[in-house]
Structure 1
Amino acid sequence: MKLRNIFLTGLSAVALASCSDYLDVDAPSKNPPEYVFSDKKEMRNALNGVYAAMLTNDTYGQNFIEKLSFNTDVEFKILDSEFASSSAYQRYECDPDGGDIKKAWDALYTGIERANMLIDGIENADIYDEEDSELMQMLGEVKVLRSIFYHDLVWYFGDVPYSLLPSYKSPSKIYDVGDRTEILSDLIEDLKGIASKMQLSTAQSFSDGPQRISKDMAWAMIARLAMTAGGYSLRPEGGEFGTMKRPDNYKDFYATAAEYCDSVVQRTSHSLSKQYHEVFVGNCNYDYTPGDDIIWEIPFGTLSSGNIGYIHGPKMDNQSGVTNHAWGKASSSAQLNALYRYLFDEDDVRRDFVNQLFGYNNQGEAQLNNGRTNYNGKWSKLWNKNGLGSATEGNTGFNFPYMRYADVLLMSAEAENEINGRPTQKAIERYEQVRQRAFPGNSAKVAYTGEMNKEAFLKAVLDERKFEFAGENMRWRDLVRNNMLGEQLYWTFFRYYAAADRGSGYDSPVGEYDFGNGSVYDTKWMNSLYYVNNAPNDNYYSFDKFPQASPNVRVVYIVNPYRLPESGDEKIKIKVDGKDQQVARADYMNWFDENTSRPTAHFCYSLRGYIYCDSKSGSILINDNGNYVGAPDPSVFPSADELPAVRYILPYPRSVITRSQGKYVNQYGYR
């Protein structure tokens, strides 16, 4: 049975009891546990039910990629209200009543309860046998799934209620809160114990490819857990919002990450043989290639679950519920920072594929997106060769690549650098492997040429992750792990502010920070774009035709997407349906409000939970433990230590606090 069908088979056949009341989640119960755990077929059905817990849009199907993927220099959502909100998660602003917090909490604990029940059932079954490879593989899969659920809980909520027992065996329905480092340590040891008994993805019996959790994925997940455990996180002690700290033995965790990254690199067949865009175009065509970049992807059901590709890609409007093309509607609500594209090297093949500057109106005509964010082209319904249907919207069934080999290579580079206090040859080689795909045939751009010290190489690795993982809910986590989130949000705010108000003088320090050149944005940031809407699908884009394999869909031809126009560019004519058509001009970055003499509210308030510009006074304020104070001027180049911590931790849902009967309390300044 292919895992693409788990959404249906898992939910209908999984045999699990109800969860603890305070968790407010339900697990379906079809058969008694003693029946389920006496038969491998029923165990497999129960395992499908654990996989199925991942398929909700409250977590990996949408919200973790959209609403709970926080604003940075990569992912970005425009929020222009000057007033505090209970659910403006992207701008680091919410309260315990935010509905999406409760939905995510319930969904994650649903998965944990199902996993705990199955693990307990397998380990206590009469047929339990550590020499039974099939049984050990199932046990390994469910333990990796449980670690994924807890890993995300720790990232979003910090220290959380913790139990490795099913609720019906727990001495209390109100679990004790576990320290995040201890939770991650337990999960690491748990996976170490089972990984050796699992099958590699190249095993003959492993027919589902990257849709199924393999030994490769178990090793990679150990590395990811260890990187999280060894990194910085916001702790509740010290200050109203807490303090960024990492454990005293953090190097031990990085050593574990390095060891298990080595296992993936040296003992599996994974590579980066596909071109970058082919990895994600493959996602959109249900094309699964074992042994390439994707180690494990969340297996959404074809046209039944998951909004990957609906919330990404060029926006496509419909009319009366249908489009006049075969791809249907796309909301394109998971977007990118408009200035992100300027941070790429001009020869990086990822830039033009990921950053999309046009969408489609309800007539199917290609129109320039002259907005404040860009569409994320990494996934798109348009990449599907045949189209999903003119009446389709969400539930694309495109799988989400949860773990990629590129991530393992860059985790390895980061861990080796941290352990040794400098970049080792191994670290450099693995960093360069990722660069080879980004700069094919360009050895000068592939090679690491920076200073041979820890700080310079860490910046290079994090920059590479910045360009590699757009839209994968990675950037804010990478920055938190290295205590750089406050610094990057600070510069993200001023980058947008400077682009909107070229007279502010902020473009010089921003240019110096980004490129070591205070005048660089004089040529990078353009006031006008010259373009032709609804042009023929010709070879305008470096990753071949747009959309891939869809030549009948029109595009927008942009003369100067990344440079100032040369003399005469505005007079260029191109052939459209055999006729000359002159390019049009659009004021780009027209983001200044003449009435207030400052940037529009879109840029003043999109990071309001941490830094914003007051629309009345024009003061730029930064959130220091709940008190907004004057932000340092960019000309002083404040260090990360000189900027206040960011409250990225979410509050426990209020209903959970209530049901805990006083056992749980919210910290980090939440009321």
Structure 2
Amino acid sequence: MKKKYIKPLLVSLAMGGLLTFSSCESYLDVENPSTVSQEAVFNSVGYTSSAITGIYNKLMGDNGYGSRVSTLYPNAGDDFIVGGAYNPLDRRGISGFGVHPDNSEIYRPFLEMYAGIERANIAIKYIPLSPLYENGTEAEQAAMRKMYGEALTLRAIFYHELIRNWGDVPAQFEPSADIPDLYLPKTDRDEIYDRLLVDLQIASDLVPWRSESGDPSTRITKSAVKGLRARIALARGGYSLRRESGVMERRSDYRDHYQIARNETLDIIQSGQHSLNPEFEQVFRSLHTAGGDPTNEHIFQVGAFGGNSRTDSKLGYSNGIRIDRNSVYGAANGQLEAIPTYFYEFDSLGDSRRDVTLAYFTINKDDNKELVSANVMRDGKFRKYWTSIAGTNQNLGINWPILRYADVLLMFAEADNELNGAPSAEAVAAYEAVRSRAYTGYEERMGTTPTGQTEFLEAVRQERFLEFGGEGIRKYDLIRWNLLEQTINETRAKLTDFMNGEGRYANVPQYVYTIPTRFNNAPDVSAEMATFDLFGGSVAGAMYTPAPASTPAGYTRKNWRAAVNADYVAQYAVAFEPNKSELFPIYSGVLNQNYNLTQDYGY
């Protein structure tokens, strides 16, 4: 492959600063097909805004948060997995923790992240050089500084995604045209993260609060910068698989990074810019439609638009509830499946998150809702019928949540507890705010918040497990806590107990009996579930108490505990190897393009 360098920056306004890969599709080789010079672009606020839009566009699409990065990469923990039999050469290899270097699912997203970085690098170089940056009108200077901060933040998002999936990666912070040799070796992730934390500190001074800019949650605001800086600080201060030692380690300065996380999240909390939506379900319905987030719980979400594979999402089709193609609501595939034991992590009566997070019914061709078996529950936060799009459409315009205020509260609680040796009153309040929202009307079932450091940390970890299921957070939390191997082993043990009806699952029925009922698309999930016809009455009666061995008259039997057998247990995280599977290999085609890259971590 020949090395190529960036041609003069050209911007297609219609596509928001489109940059495309050449036919050999190398992260080293970026071409630029537009018709406006660099100087013209960054001498205009409007053109610069279009270039920034082009960076945002690289977040979405099939190779970004519209599909693979959001639905395939994170779902291999103890909440959701990718359904189907393990195959190291396709998407199920990711969920089984045995990705082969020739697995094409790890190829294009890798390229996509570097395309976003290249776009950001160009903007980061040229915006401060623009005469508008220092000498424009007050409004022009403010706009250019804001966009400079956005570019710094977007670059940090791309690098964070690369690091948490691949570990140490080649890092460039200048446009490719300025780099004499693009065959870069890997850079230690700590060095990259340290650079990003500085960049985000700069960005937080440039980007205004939402109340000052009036921007929607699909645009970077000061809260987004600070919240993402906290997330990256916790990753930097957490455990990760190291190239040098070949084991999971965290650095001795980890407390410094917990301090950054605490400071940034506290700033957001004290700003008063955001609060929790009082209804957990509405947090996710709002991703499907314009508006609907009056409390600004969504601090940053990736916008989906255009009905195509580049800038739209397949959320609600590739994940979410499964719908028969002949239903009036149209086809939805729902390839993500919940671990059956996840259902029983939620309180049986009080936790409103269970029936939003877990979709344990499907819509059949007759528009009836049918109970599914325990092993094929889907993630319920993304539902095609919450949109206005029916038919066979796969691009549904559903946004992806990058950062919610609930995450800010729980990051603050975790960091505060770590630094103080016990939770402060503010940390307890942050934790309880998230928990009490879930238990609205059932507050007496919340339990008592622990005050010891270890016990409170465990409570926060469990709350994150329940709060963020299906949002691409759990696996990475487990990795930074160095709990992935332990959790996989514990989940296998839970699944075995579930299969055998032992321990906490002793009263879980082997079968559940149901009659299909009309799906009404009720205004809230609880109203829809209230019309479910289950033998035993409510979900609390049918799924938590033993049922008869024979099918009652008029009912249909569905496997519940019986859906989990020895093969299912054996296939869970089937290829996991500690100190290897925490990261992906670099795709072999990428490795072959750069003689300075190495395949590490035991691959």
TM-score of the two chains, using structure 1 as the length reference:
0.81
Indicate conservation of the 8 Å contact 2:351/2:439, yes or no.
yes
Deviations 1:441-496 (A, max 9, x none): 4444446433x322211110010000110111110111111111110001112222
Change (3 A) 1:260 1:448: farther
Paired position in structure 2 for 1:564: 545
User: Is residue 2:540 matched to residue 1:606?
Assistant: no
Aligned residue number for residue 656 of structure 1: 590
What is aligned with 1:57? 62
1:357 equivalenced with 2:290 (yes/no): no
| Mean Cα deviation higher: 21-30 or 290-299 | 21-30
Contact conserved, 1:122 with 1:128, CA < 8 A, in 2?
yes
Alpha-carbon deviations, 1:150-206, whole Å to 9, x = none? 000000010110011010112321234221111111111111112122111112x42
| Structure 1 residue 583: Cα displacement | 3.2
Deviation, 1:415, is 0.6
**Pairs within 5 Å for 1:288-303:** 288-289=292-293, 291-301=295-305, 303=307
Q: State the secondary structure of the residue aligned to 1:143.
A: helix
Match of 2:227 among 207, 220, 239: 220
Distance 1:54 1:358, change over 3 A: same
Q: What corresponds to 1:124 in structure 2? A: 129
Relative distance call for 1:105 and 1:26 in structure 2 (3 A) is farther
The residue matched to 2:343 in structure 1 has which SS?
helix
Q: CA deviation at 1:582?
A: 3.6
Structure-2 change in CA distance of 1:472 and 1:22 (3 Å): closer
Equivalent position of 1:109 in the other structure: 114
Unaligned stretches of 5+ residues in structure 1: 1-7, 508-518, 548-553, 572-580, 593-598, 611-622, 624-643
Report if aligned partners of 1:485, 1:646 keep a CA contact under 8 Å in 2.
Answer: no
- 2:341 aligned residue (339, 357, 361): 339
Alpha-carbon distance in structure 2 between the residues aligned to 1:366 and 1:527: 21
Task: Choose from 368, 372, 380 the match for 1:369.
Answer: 372
The corresponding residue for 2:478 is 479
Query: 1:201–1:290: 8 Å Cα contact kept in structure 2?
Result: no
Using the TM superposition, name which of 470-479 and 84-93 deviates more. Answer: 84-93
Correspondence for 1:647: 581
Please give the alpha-carbon distance, in whole angstroms, between the structure 2 residues aligned to 1:538 and 1:115.
42
Give me the whole-angstrom Cα distance separating, in 2, the residues matched to 1:542 and 1:45.
39
Q: 1:266 aligns with which of 253, 270, 283?
A: 270
Q: 1:538 to 1:263 in 2, by over 3 A?
A: closer
Match of 2:161 in 1: 152
Q: Per the alignment, in what secondary structure is the counterpart of residue 107 of structure 2?
A: helix
Per-residue deviation, 1:591? 4.0
Residues 367, 556 of structure 1: 8 Å contact kept? no
Give the number of the structure whose residues are more often helix, by fraction.
Answer: 2
Higher alpha-carbon deviation: 24-33 or 129-138? 24-33
Tell me how far apart the structure 1 counterparts of residues 550 and 208 of structure 2 sit (CA, whole Å): 58
Preserved CA contact (<8 Å) 1:527 1:590: yes
Cα distance change, pair 345–546 in 1 and its aligned pair in 2 (3 A)? closer
The Cα of 1:86 is off from its aligned counterpart by: 6.5
User: 2:511 — aligned with what?
Assistant: 528
Q: Name the CA shift for 1:124/1:437 in 2 (closer, same or farther; >3 Å).
A: same
Q: Deviations over 1:81-123 (max 9, x none)?
A: 5x76575011110122110111110010010001101111102
For 1:583, the equivalent position in structure 2 comes to: 555
Q: For 1:343-362, what per-residue CA distance to the aligned partner results, in whole angstroms no more than 9, with x for missing partners?
A: 11121010122212111233
The 3-state SS of whatever aligns with 1:543 is helix
- Is the CA contact 1:357–1:368 (under 8 Å) kept in the aligned structure 2? yes
- Equivalent of 2:206, from 197, 206, 217? 197
Q: Give the one of 176, 186, 203 matched to 2:195.
A: 186
Partner of 1:388: 389
CA distance in 2, matches of 1:89, 1:457: 32
Change (3 A) 1:332 1:174: same
Whether the 8 Å contact between 1:188 and 1:222 is mirrored in structure 2 is yes
Write the deviation string for residues 389-444 of structure 1: whole angstroms up to 9, x where unpaired.
Answer: 3x233111111111100000000011111112222222111101101210114444
- Asked if 1:437 corresponds to 2:421, the answer is no
* Matched residue SS, 2:591: helix
Q: 1:276 aligns with which of 264, 275, 280?
A: 280
Distance of aligned partners of 1:475 and 1:108 in 2 relative to their CA distance in 1, 3 Å threshold: same
Name 2:5's counterpart in structure 1: none
Secondary structure of the structure 2 residue equivalent to 1:129:
helix
Aligned CA distance change for structure 1 residues 333 and 587 (closer, same or farther; 3 Å): closer
**Closer/same/farther in 2, CA of residues 556 and 64 from structure 1, 3 Å limit:** farther
- Report 1:490-501 matches (<5 A): 490-501=489-500
Q: Which runs of 4+ in 1 moved over 6 A?
A: 17-20, 538-542, 566-570
Partner SS, residue 297 of structure 1: strand
Query: Please, which moves more after superposition, 410-419 or 536-545?
Result: 536-545
Q: Which amino acid aligns with 1:236?
A: R
Q: Which residue of 2 aligns with 1:94?
A: 99
Confirm or deny: 8 A CA contact 2:509 2:547 kept in the other structure.
no
CA contact (8 A) 1:335 1:374 kept: yes
Q: Does structure 2 retain, via aligned residues, the 8 Å contact 1:10–1:50?
A: no
Q: Name the CA shift for 1:584/1:605 in 2 (closer, same or farther; >3 Å).
A: closer
| Cα 1:296–1:567 shift into 2, 3 Å | same
SS at match of 1:228: helix
Structure 1 SS opposite 2:573: coil
- Cα distance between partner residues in 2 of 1:316 and 1:536: 11
Counterpart selection for 1:237 from 244, 247, 262: 244
Contact 1:80 1:604 in 2 (8 A): no
Equivalent residues of 1:283, 1:400 under 8 A apart:
yes
* SS of structure 2 residue aligned to 1:148: helix
Whole-Å Cα distance in 1 between the matches of residues 567 and 548 of structure 2? Answer: 34
Residue 458 of structure 1: aligned partner: 457
Cα distance 1:401–1:462, how it changes in 2: closer, same or farther (>3 A)?
A: same
Identical columns (%): 28
- Equivalent position SS for 2:558: strand
Distance 1:343 1:197 in 2: 42
CA contact (8 A) 1:129 1:135 kept: no
- Asked if the contact 1:312–1:378 (Cα under 8 Å) also holds between the matched residues in 2, the reply is no
More moved, 129-138 vs 36-45: 129-138
Contact 1:21 1:173 in 2 (8 A): no
Q: Structure 2: which 5+ residue stretches go unaligned?
A: 1-10
1:114 maps to a residue whose letter is R
Query: Structure 2: how far apart are the matches of 1:228 and 1:115?
Result: 22
Is 1:667 aligned with 2:600? yes
Q: Which amino acid aligns with 1:43?
A: T
Say whether the 8 Å CA contact 2:421–2:453 is kept in structure 1: yes
- Assess if the C-alpha contact under 8 Å between 1:591 and 1:600 holds in 2: no
Tell me: CA distance 1:228–1:499, structure 2 relative to 1, closer, same or farther (3 Å).
same
